[in-house]
Amino acid sequence: MISLLRTAGKFRERRRALAEDRSGQDMIEYALLAAAVAVLVAAALPTGVYTPISTLFSSISSAMSAS
């Protein structure tokens, strides 16, 4: 029973430390910013650019599958 209480206490301490940790917040903000930039770039590209890019990625995918 005592070991269960110790484990529960350690769990509460780790949960509290995790709740106070803000180090991952910057990563999420950068990811959201990168996603917004990607959407803006995709919206600004002319429609004639999509076909060559798709062809490029298809050829890369085929080359990776072959090896």
Q: Give alpha helix (H) positions in 1-49.
A: 2-20, 25-44
How many whole angstroms separate alpha carbon 56 and alpha carbon 50?
A: 10
Q: How many CA atoms lie within 13 A of 57 on its CB side?
A: 5
The pLDDT, as a whole number, for residue 1 is 65
- C-alpha distances out from residue 22 to 10, 12, 30, 58, Å: 20, 18, 14, 40
Tens digits of residue pLDDT in 12-31: 888 888 777 776 777 888 99
3-state secondary structure of 23: coil
* d(C-alpha 32, C-alpha 38), whole Å: 10
pLDDT block averages, 10 residues each, the chain of length 67: 77 81 78 93 83 91 88
Predicted TM-score (pTM) above 0.85: no
